[in-house]
A and B are shown apart, each in its own frame.
Chain A
Amino acid sequence: MHRFLRLPILLVGLFMAVSSYAANNSQPALTTEDSLGPQVQQPIEFPHNRHAGNHDASDPAKGGMEINCQYCHTYARRSAVAGIPPLQKCIGCHQSIESVRNKPRIVELFKYWDAKKAIPWKKVHDLPDFVRFNHERHIKRFIEQQDRPVQEACGYCHGDVKEMTVARRQKPLAMGWCASCHEKDHPVTAEGGAPIGNQAYWYSFQKPVAAQDAAAVIKARGPNDCWQCHK
C-alpha cells in the first residue's frame, strides 16, 4: 500500500517547495543601497530628530537636543545586540519635563509606565538568524579606538537618524553590503604612520600588521572571514 503512496508524497513535497518559494516572493521587493526599508508603524511615533537632531539656535523649541545615541541605547556598546532602551529610561527624564507632559505621545508613554507594561515596539533592523552582527565590536572600533563622532559611526548602518522621527531602515543590511566595507582597505593611521584617534593606546597591545604605503599610511581591512558573522 505504501508503495503507491510514494508519488503523492513526492508531489506534496514538490508542491510545498513551490508554494513556500511563492509565499516568500510576496515579501517587499529587495531594497537597493539607495532605497529605504518599509515605513514601520510604531505604537508611539518616537521623534529621533527631536532627541538627537542638531540644536537650532534661532528656535530652540523646534531644534534637536543633540543627545548622544549611547545615552539611551546603552546596550549597544555592551552587547552584541543593541536591545531597546527600557521604559524607565524615557521616564527618567520625562517625569521632570513638565512642558511636554500633556503632549499626546507623552501621555501615551506614561500610560504604559503606569501600567508597568513594555511598549510593543516593532523591530526595524532585522538580520536573519544565521548572521551574528556585533554592535559592541563596531562601537569599540569606531568610537573608542578611532574616536569618530558617535552619530557618524552609528550612521554607517542606521543612516542619518537625527533627521528621522521613527527609525527607518536606510541600508540593505545584506551580506554584499557589509562586505563592501569589510573588504576595503581603510587607513588605520594618518600620514607618517601616526595613529588615528585613541588607537595609540590599543596599538600598545597589538600593532596593525599591514604594510605602509608611499605616504606612510597603514591600511587594513576589517575582519572578513566567513565565520566572523556566520558562527
Chain B
Amino acid sequence: MIDSDSVKQLAGHPFDRRDFLKVLGWSGTAVALSGCGNTSIEDGRETVVSYVEASDYMVPGIGVYYNSTCAQCDAGCNINGRVREGRVLKLEGNPDSGINKGKLCGLGQAGVQHHYNPDRVREPLLRNGSKGEAITWDKAYALIAEKLAGVQGDEIAFLSGGMSGHLKVLLGNYLDSLGTRNHFVYEAIAPSVVRAANVKAYGVEMPRYRLDKAKVVLSFGADFLGAWVSPVHFSQQYAQFRKGVDGQRGVLIQVESKMTLTGANADRWLVVKPGTEGVLALGIINVLGTATGDVAELVKGYDPVRVSRETGVSVSHIEKVAALLRMRSPSLVLAGSAAEGYAHGSQNAAAINLLNQVLGNVGKTIEAPVSVPFPQMAPAKGNTAALKSLNDGLAAGKYKVVFNFAANPVFTAPGAMKFKDNFAKAGFKVAFAHYLDETALQADLVLPLDSALEDWGTQVPEYMTEGAQINIQQPLMERLHANTRGMGDIVLALLKQRKADEYKGFEDYYAYLRGAMLQNKGALGGGGVDDDTFWNETLTRGIVKLAGATGALTTHATAAGLVFPAHKEADEHYPLHLIPGVTASLRDGRHTNQPWLQESPDPLTTIVWDSWVEIHPKKATELGIVEGDIVEVTSRTGSVKAQVYLFPGIHPEAVSIPVGRGHDAMGRYAKGYGVNPFQIMDTVFEAATGELAMHETRVKISKTGQRVLVVKDEGAAGALQMGRKIASRVSTDQIDLSKEV
C-alpha cells in the first residue's frame, strides 16, 4: 500500500509523470491482453450461496429499502438504505424527513464505510500489559460488576458524546442505579457558547433559522453549508434563499478570519482580525442608527473609524453592509463557531445576536424552536467545559471507574489539558468503541459496538425544522461480526446487574424500545391503532412526527452585560492566531478511518489524505515560505509539522490547520495521515461559559528546510487560470442590487 510518505517521496523525486504513465501503459496492456476473449467466464469455480429460507420480498438482484437515521453527525438526517442480498449497499436521504428532505451529505454517504470498516473492534478486549486479550461478554460484564462493587457513586464517571432518545433515558437510569451524577457530555465541536448566548438573547438555545425567508444573510463565521449545526438542511434553505423572496435573490455576506465553504459561496467575503467579529457587529449597529435605549448608548463609541481600525474591515465596507441590511428586510445574522472561539466568545455572540434584535429579525427569520413532548429524551449536550471538569477530577485521582462512549478525548482534548496522563490515573477504564482509537487504546476494557447500520435506537435531533420528530434507527442488515453489541443492549445488560427485577421483562434493547414506544403510542400519533400496526408503520417511516411544543422568543434588545475586553496587544513570541479548521467531511475526526472522507478533496484547498497549514501569501512571502514547505507550528503547548498551503482566504495574522487528521491509532486509513492541531491547543477558556476558546491559541512558525509536493486536485500553479476566466464577473460594489433582479 502506498502511504502518504511514499507518495510524497515519489512526488518529491524525479519519478515524473512520464515514467508513471509508462508503467501504467505496460500494466494496462497486461490487463487488456488477459481480459480478451471469453476466458474470464469461470464456470464451476465460484460458489453461489443461496438462501436457506427466503422471505417473499427477498429476490436476488433486487434491492429492498429501509428507513433509518444517519449517525455520522448529530444533525439527525433521516436516511433510506438500499439492501440487496442481505447487504446494505447505499444510503440516501429519506424524502419524508423535514430535516434533509431526501438528501444526504458526503459524510452521511460514507456511513457504509463505518459499517464495513476492516478496523472495527470485533471482540471484547481486556488489557493484558500492552495487549488486548479477547474475552467473552459474560466475563466482560462480570468484570464490570466486580470493579463497581463497593465503589461510591461519586467515584464513577461516564463520559459520552451527545446523546438523546431512549438510550439517554436508559443510561440515565443506569447511572442513577450506580448512584452517580457524573455524566459528562462532551462534543469537541459544538456551538456551546452560541447556545448560551442565544439563551440570553432569544430565550432558547437554538432557534430555528429561516435562511429561506431572509433577503440578506450576514454570517459571522457560521459554516452552515459545511459543518455547522444541520448543514444538509441549511443547504436546502440556502438554495431557496438564492432563488429569492419576492423576486429578490438573497445576498450572503460572510465575515470570518479563515474562509470556510460557506465563505467561498458568499457574495461578499469580509476578512476580520481574529476575534473582532463582535466589534464589527456593534459597528454595523452604530451605522444603522436605529438602536435605542442602552443599545444606542453602547454602540455610540463604536464609530466606523474605530471599528475599522480594530477589525481591519474598511469603513466603506461597513457602510455598505449596513446599507444593504437597511435596504433589505428581513435579514438574518448568524453567529458561528469562528465568532465564539475566543475568550470573549459570549460577548461576540451577544453582539451579533443584538444586531438581529436591532434589525427586527426575531420572529421573522428567527423562529421559536419546537420541542418533543418527552423532555427526558431531548438531546444531552456539552462541550469542553464538561471535559475539563472530568479532567480535573481525573487529575485529582477522584475516579475509580470511568466509562467512555462516543467520544475520543485523548485525541480531541486540547494538548495543554494533558488528558491522556490524567486518564491513566483512573482505576478502571471501560471504552465502548467501534475502533481502537486513541482513547480505547488507553482503556482497560474495550467493548465492541454494533455499527449504526446494525443497531436499534431512537434519536431526537437538537435542530428540528418543520415540527418535532423522533428519529428511528433500525438495523439495515444483520451483524457483520458475531461479537459486537448495540450500546442499548450493553446498557440494559449492565442495568440488569443492578436492578434485575425491574428490567427482567426486557429480553433485549429492542424489546425495551418497542415496549417504551408502545406505552406512549397515543402521544406518538398511534392512538386507536393496534400495537403491531403502529410499530410496523413507525419502522417503515423511520420517523415519528409530532406536533411538538413551540415556545416564544424574547424580542427585547438589551445591551446588558455586553462589555468587550480591552484591545489586546499582539503576542511578541507567538505572533499568529491558530484557527482550527473544521471541515465538512472530517469534523472532529471520529470518522477519519473512512477512506472516502480522506479521499474526497477539501473543497477549498483540494488537498487529500493529509493536513496542511494555511498561510496568507503575503505572510508567506514575508517569512520566505512557499507552498509545500514543511513548517513547524509551535504554540505554548506543543508543536506540529505540516506542509504549507498558500491560501488568500485567511487573515495574514492567522494560520489554520484542519482538525480531524493526525490520528496515531484508530485504523489503517486514519493512522499516520496528517497532524492533530488539538495537540497544540492552549487551555484558554471562554470567560462566561467555561468552554474551550478554540481560536485563542497563539503560534509561531518556523521553517524546517524540508519541502514536498502538495498532493491536491487543483493545478500546481495554485489554481491560476492562465489569464482565462471561467465566467465573466463584476464585483458587487459596481452593481446596484436593487436593480439587478
- Do A173 and B41 have beta carbons less than 8 Å apart? yes
| Assembly CA distance A17 to B34 (angstroms) | 8
Distance in Å from the Cβ of B137 to the closest Cβ of chain A?
A: 23
Q: How many residues of B contact A (CB 8 A)?
A: 35
Contact of B38 (CB < 8 Å), options: A13, A113, A174 = A174
B60:A10 contact, CB within 8 angstroms: no
Chain B interface helix/strand/loop/mixed = loop
Inter-chain contact A17/B30, CB cutoff 8 Å:
yes
CA distance A173 to B34 in the complex (A): 18
B54 adjacent to A30 (CB under 8 Å): no
**Nearest neighbor of A79 in chain B, beta-carbon distance:** B61
**B 14-38 binary contact with A (CB < 8 Å = 1; else 0):** 1100010011001101110110011
Stretch at the interface among A57-65, A82-90, A193-201, A222-230: A82-90
Q: Give B residues with C-beta under 8 Å from A.
A: 13-15, 19, 22-23, 26-27, 29-31, 33-34, 37-54, 59-62
> Contact check: which of B26, B41, B44 meets A122 at CB < 8 Å?
B44
Also in contact, A21 and B44, with CB within 8 A (given A9-B23, A13-B27) = no
The answer to whether A21 touches B34 (Cβ under 8 A) is yes
Chain A's closest residue to B52 (CB) is: A87
CB distance from A104 to the nearest CB of B (A): 21
Binding-face segment, A37-45, A141-149, A184-192, A213-221? A37-45
Q: Inside 8 A of A88's CB, which chain B residues have their CB?
A: 51-54
CB distance from A131 to the nearest CB of B (A): 9
B48 touches A37 (CB 8 A): no
A6-B19 in contact given A41-B44, A123-B46 (Cβ < 8 Å): yes
Residues of A within 8 A of B53 (CB): 86-88, 116
Complex CA distance for A143 and B270, rounded to whole angstroms: 69
Q: Residues of A with Cβ closer than 8 Å to B?
A: 1-3, 5-6, 9-10, 13-14, 16-18, 20-21, 23-25, 27, 30-31, 37-38, 40-41, 75, 78-88, 112-113, 116-128, 169, 172-175
Given contacts A14-B26, A79-B59, contact A38 B50 (CB under 8 A): no
* B44 in complex: contacting residue of A38, A85, A174, A175, CB < 8 Å: A38
| Known contacts A21-B33, A37-B43: A123-B48 contact under CB 8 Å | yes
For B62, give the chain A residue with the smallest CB separation. Answer: A79
Whole-angstrom CA separation of A123 from B54 in the bound complex? 20
* B13 CB contacts on chain A under 8 angstroms: 1-2
Closest chain B CB from A19 CB (angstroms)? 8
For B19, give the chain A residue with the smallest CB separation.
Answer: A6
**Distance in Å from the Cβ of A121 to the closest Cβ of chain B?**
5
The reply to whether B30 and A83 contact each other, CB–CB distance below 8 Å, is no
Q: Give the Cβ gap from B723 to chain A, nearest Cβ, in Å.
A: 35
The 4 closest A-B pairs by CB, nearest first: A17-B30, A83-B60, A40-B44, A84-B50
Looking at A5, A16, A21, A88, the one whose CB has the most chain B CB atoms below 10 A away is: A21
Question: How far does the Cβ of B132 sit from chain A's closest Cβ, in whole Å?
Answer: 32
- Cβ-Cβ contact count across A and B, 8 Å cutoff: 134
| Nearest B residue (CB) for A166 | B44
Q: How many Å lie between the Cα of A140 and that of B44 in the bound state? A: 28
A37 to B307, CA, bound (A): 84
In the bound complex, what is the Cα–Cα distance between A80 and B63 (angstroms)?
12
**Identity of the chain A residue whose Cβ is nearest the Cβ of B49 in the assembled complex:** A118
B23 adjacent to A10 (CB under 8 Å)? yes
Chain B residues with CB below 8 A from A172, complex form: 38
Contacts of A16 in B (CB 8 A): 26-27, 30
- Give Cα A35–Cα B735 distance, bound, in whole angstroms: 77
**Which residues on B sit within 8 Å (CB–CB) of A84?**
48-50
Q: In the assembly, what is the distance between CA of A145 and CA of B437, in Å?
A: 59
Instruction: Please tell me if the beta carbons of B15 and A2 are within 8 angstroms of each other in the complex.
Output: yes
- Bound: A124/B46 CA distance, A: 8
In the assembled complex, the CB of B722 is this many whole angstroms from the nearest CB of chain A, namely: 30
A18 CB contacts on chain B under 8 angstroms: 30
* Structural contact, A86 and B50, CB atoms closer than 8 A: yes
B96 to chain A, nearest CB (A): 27
Bound form: Cα–Cα A204–B50 in Å: 38
Cβ of A43 to closest chain B Cβ, rounded Å: 9
Can you name 6 A-B pairs with beta carbons within 8 Å?
A10-B23, A79-B61, A81-B60, A84-B50, A86-B54, A118-B50
Q: Which of B42, B43, B46, B61 has the most CB of A within 10 A?
A: B43
Q: Please, which residues of chain A bring their CB within 8 A of the CB of B39?
A: 24-25, 27, 30
CB-CB under 8 A from A31, the residues of chain B are: 38
Closest-by-CB residue of A relative to B46 is A123
Cβ–Cβ < 8 Å partners of B38 in chain A: 30-31, 128, 172-175
- Residues on A with C-beta less than 8 A from B62 are 78-79
- Shortest C-beta distance, B64 to chain A (Å), equals 12
Give the contacting residue for A24; candidates B26, B29, B34, B49; CB below 8 A: B34
Q: Across the interface, do A123 and B44 meet the contact criterion of CB distance under 8 Å?
A: yes
Q: Are A10 and B51 in contact (CB under 8 A)?
A: no
B704 to chain A, nearest CB (A): 22
Contact between A87 and B51, CB atoms less than 8 A apart: yes
Output the nearest chain B residue to A89 by Cβ-Cβ distance: B54
Since A75-B59, A83-B48 are in contact, a sample of 18 more A-B pairs with Cβ atoms closer than 8 Å, ordered by chain A residue number, is A5-B15, A20-B34, A21-B33, A25-B39, A30-B38, A40-B43, A40-B44, A75-B60, A81-B60, A87-B53, A88-B52, A88-B53, A116-B52, A119-B50, A122-B46, A123-B45, A126-B45, A173-B41
B43 touches A169 (CB 8 A): yes
A38 with B43: CB separation less than 8 A = yes
Residue of B14, B43, B61 touching A81 (CB-CB under 8 A): B61
Q: How far is the CB of B46 from chain A (nearest CB, A)?
A: 4
Q: Which partner residue on chain A sits nearest B50 by CB separation?
A: A84
Q: Is the CB of A121 within 8 A of B47?
A: yes
Count chain A CB atoms within 10 A of each CB in B14, B22, B26, B47 and give the residue with the most.
B26
Write the nearest CB–CB distance from B240 to chain A, whole angstroms: 36
Given the known interface contacts A2-B13, A27-B39, the answer about A78 and B59 at a Cβ–Cβ threshold of 8 Å is yes
Q: Looking across the interface, which residue of chain B has its beta carbon closest to that of A113?
A: B52
Cross-chain contact A86 with B52 (CB below 8 angstroms): yes
Contact of A87 with B22 in the complex, beta carbons under 8 Å: no
Are B44 and A17 in contact (CB-based, < 8 A)? no
Q: Are B23 and A13 in contact (CB under 8 A)?
A: yes
Minimum Cβ distance to chain B for residue A86 (Å): 4
A6 touches B46 (CB 8 A): no
Q: Which residue of A lies closest to B37 (CB)?
A: A30
In the complex, the chain A residue whose C-beta lies closest to that of B20 is: A9
| Alpha-carbon gap, A9 to B19, bound state (A) | 9
State whether A13 and B19 are in contact (beta carbons under 8 Å apart), knowing that A41-B44, A87-B53, A126-B46 are contacts in the complex: no
Given the complex, which residues of B lie within 8 Å of A40, measured CB to CB? 43-44
Q: How far is the CA of A7 from the CA of B94 in the complex (A)?
A: 54
